[in-house]
Structure 1
Amino acid sequence: MLDALTLDQIRTFVTIADSGSFRSAAGRLGRVQSGVSVAIANLEAQLGVALFDRTGHRPLMTREGEALLANARDILLRVDAMRARARGLGEGVELELPLAVDTLYPIHHVGQALAELRTAFPLVSVRLVVEPLGGPLTALRERRCTLAIMVGEEFRDPRITFEALSSISQVAVVAADHRLAGFQERQSIGIPDLADHVQVVLSDPSQVSKGRDFGVISPQTCRVGSQDAKHALILAGVGWGRLPLWLVQRDLEGGRLRRLGTGALGRNAEVVSETYLAHRLDEPLGPAARKIAEILVRTSSNDSNP
């Protein structure tokens, strides 16, 4: 009967799939290999299907096993989430609240939320890191932060839950004295024109986007590690690039930067991305984390620009 299924059997099944063999799974679980084999045999008997083909030198997952693996992972995620929530209900206030924020998100919004948090939890220390691209997701995966603010749809993980906060506008800009600024007064800028000039690009500090580039058009790039460095280099005339509108609004109004006159980078050289508040499903949120999450959700709007 299916009612006789155990979490131990399901976790053993998933561990074998992740580790690649019964022997490796036994090592991860701290059990003898025969115990792992018995757990899988019992699971197969309960389900009425073979999860592994044992006719070869080493067991291989069957088509039935592959089909049921997603269900097994989902069950474990839900159980871990339930345990995490239960632990959180019984825990006291955190001593420290680690946060990771995408460089595209307005840091002054985070500051306002932290200022409000201190009125409720004045003794909680905050550790804040600001990283681009896959940095916040990696911080969550490695448990270096409790909450993360992430931008865009590129970085997802089934162990992470996401809640929409607001939208962020990025504009393609160039210094007022750059050649592209004068070019756009005469005619629209095309992709070949952009490729003839240096593009200032953010580097991913994590391995999440290894082998991939996002929005890189020019073969001539200047790669930097922070949004502030990218902003400074574009202002200095090194090249062109996308920057969040909240960061460059005053530069545009003051004539120090200009939007690129091109429709190849979005209407009016602008693209809009969603921002999300994220945390691990299997880690409980303490009182301070729940409070700042509530503040961020409440104070966010569809327009994150000042």
Structure 2
Amino acid sequence: MNWTLDELNAFVNSVKLGSFSAAGRRMGKAQSRVSTAVSNLEADLGFELFDRSAKLPILTPLGEEMFIEAQSVLAQCQRLHARAMTATLGEEVALTVAIDEAVPVNAFETFFLRVSTQFPLLKLTIINGSQEDIALWVDQGRADIGIMFHTVSLPDALEFMSIGQFKHSLVVSAQHPLAQVPVPTLEQLMQYRQLAICDRTGQSQSQPLSANHWYIDSYYYMVALALQGVGWALVPEHVAKTEWYSNELLELSTEYIPDPLLVEIGVVNRRDKEIGPVMRWFFAELDSVLDDD
């Protein structure tokens, strides 16, 4: 068998994006070149990967099996490339960290203090975002690593390492009508405005519970508006307990909320990005950064 990585890449992109033309746009190639690459892969393997009798190609049973294997091979090649780049370049001189604005402040202040001591010559850039911003910036290469809440599926090129979990709290102001309902039902919540999180562009992959909702790109600003009685909000527990306004918020029961209320926090990086000594140290330290928080 003489299949190539280019053929595997054309095959995987065609499956993920739903057509040869879409795969071509992603890869910067003509549709004919993608189609030819997939045909060559089929010839090398000795069986068809797609059923082409329909308007759009559909995976055959063997194609479905090969799709899983092809993704694994490409992922391993990305890791091999990253290791080779690390061996060539050595220790990093600069890093950019993208961090969700709602992560526990105290824990990461302490972490970055240790970074400054451990790597006094490192040129570090820290950029703040919310929700999908972090994964997008790492995927696009704007950041080397990201620290984020894992609430939606990640781009295929990213790897995620969990470092902890937080519970969502349901909060309102003391003046809000729901303040008189310690254990609100879903129907009661839907009668009032929900303040829901989104990214910097106003987009969100999670659906608010209430049809009447506002999107806001900061958990802290959500709490500030909740304090004014604008609506109710689901925010990470440590945000709700922030000393600035914890005494002014009321936390209600989440017994009747159907969605999972535990949110995972972790670190993301590109699988094909070289990981040098500094980033390895980052990962080792971040693995326990929340243990004492």
Q: Output the TM-score relative to the length of structure 1.
A: 0.78
Name the CA shift for 1:95/1:195 in 2 (closer, same or farther; >3 Å). Answer: same
Q: Quick check: 2:169–2:254 contact (8 Å CA) kept in 1?
A: no
The Cα of 1:55 is off from its aligned counterpart by: 8.5
Structure 2: gaps spanning 5 or more residues: none
Counting matched residue pairs gives 290
Using a 3 Å threshold, how does the CA distance of structure 1 residues 300 and 86 change in structure 2: closer, same or farther?
farther
Question: Secondary structure at the residue paired with 1:165?
Answer: strand
Look up the match of 1:272.
262
Between the aligned partners of 2:39 and 2:214, the Cα distance in structure 1 is 56
- 1:75, CA displacement in angstroms? 0.9
Larger radius of gyration: 1
In structure 2, relative to structure 1, the CA distance for the partners of 1:12 and 1:207 (3 Å cut) is farther
Q: Residue type matched to 2:226 in 1?
A: I
- Pairing partner for 1:105 from 103, 106, 112: 103
Native 8 Å contact 1:87 1:284 kept in 2: yes
Look up the match of 1:192.
187
How many angstroms does 1:90 deviate by?
2.4
Shift of the 288–105 alpha-carbon distance from structure 1 to 2, 3 Å rule, reads same
User: Match of 2:134?
Assistant: 136
Question: In the TM superposition, what are the counterparts of 1:252-267 in structure 2 within 5 Å?
Answer: 255-261=247-253, 263-265=255-257
Matches within 5 A, 1:158-197: 158-181=156-179, 183-184=180-181, 188-197=183-192
2:135–2:146 contact (8 Å) kept in structure 1: yes
Seq. identity, %: 23
Deviations 1:172-207 (A, max 9, x none): 1111232322x13xx642223222222222223368
Displacement of 1:25: 4.4
Residues 26-69 of structure 1: CA deviation (Å, up to 9, x unaligned)? 994769967973x555533432113456889x994661445423
- In the TM superposition, residue 88 of structure 1 has moved relative to its aligned partner by 1.4
1:15-94 alignment, distance < 5 Å: 20-21=19-20, 25=24, 28=27, 37=36, 42-51=40-49, 60=57, 63=60, 64-94=62-92
| 1:286 maps to 2:284 | no
Q: Is structure 2 residue 199 aligned with structure 1 residue 204? A: yes
Instruction: Decide whether the 8 Å contact of 2:102 with 2:220 is kept in 1.
Output: no
Contact persistence 1:137–1:155 (CA under 8 A) = no
Q: CA deviation at 1:251?
A: 5.2
Matches of residues 121-160 of structure 1 in structure 2 within 5 Å? 121-160=119-158
Distance in 1 separating the partners of 2:233 and 2:50: 51
* Structure 1 residues 42 and 19: CA distance shift in structure 2, 3 A: same
Aligned partner of residue 171 in structure 1, secondary structure: strand
